[in-house]
Amino acid sequence: MPFDASSAELRAAWRYLGAPENAPDTPVDLHARIEAGLPARLFDQLRNALREIPDRTWAEILAISVSQIKRIRGSDEPLKTDVGSHLVIFALLMVRAEDVLGGRDAALKWFQSEQMALGGRKPIEMLDTYIGAGLVDRVLRQMDYGVYI
């Protein structure tokens, strides 16, 4: 599951979210920040870093509507807990995919390609649930350890 992130992975994900100087030290710290409400600017930062992903796909990743995506962009309101969780999990999975696959472009291509290990589904389509994100994480870890099927 992506929930057992190392300190290095947390720092790397936080760089993606545009706040490297303020990275959480532990998953417990991360949990507390998500509960308190992450700033919406973190979504803006990740969205800007991954411009190839359209709003419709962001809405699927965050399990919200496209109109909610538009309200979040540039907002001063903190993210709701579930939206913050989905955002951080995706950032962590991007970091992991980049590490396993050798870079950002390869990771984005993998996320948008059908994967036999996921029943022919695209990984990016499975991120709207925590179970789906866990399955994506499991496949990445299997690939990293050479047991990808």
DSSP string, 3-68: TS--HHHHHHHHHHTT-GGG--SSHHHHHHHHHH--BTHHHHHHHHHTTTS-HHHHHHHHTS-HHH
In a domain, 52, yes or no: yes
Amino acid identity, position 33: R
Residues recorded for the chain: 149
In a domain, 39, yes or no: yes
In a domain, 50, yes or no: yes
In a domain, 149, yes or no: no
In a domain, 11, yes or no: yes
Q: How many domains would you assign to the chain?
A: 1
Domain ranges, residue 17: 7-144
Residue 1 pLDDT class (50, 70, 90 cuts): very low
Cα–Cα distance, 128 to 114 (Å, whole number): 16
In a domain, 1, yes or no: no
Rounded mean pLDDT, 26-36: 92
In a domain, 36, yes or no: yes
Q: Per residue in 123-149, pLDDT tens?
A: 999 999 999 999 999 999 999 988 765
In a domain, 87, yes or no: yes
Q: Per residue in 67-100, pLDDT tens?
A: 999 999 889 999 999 999 999 999 999 999 999 9
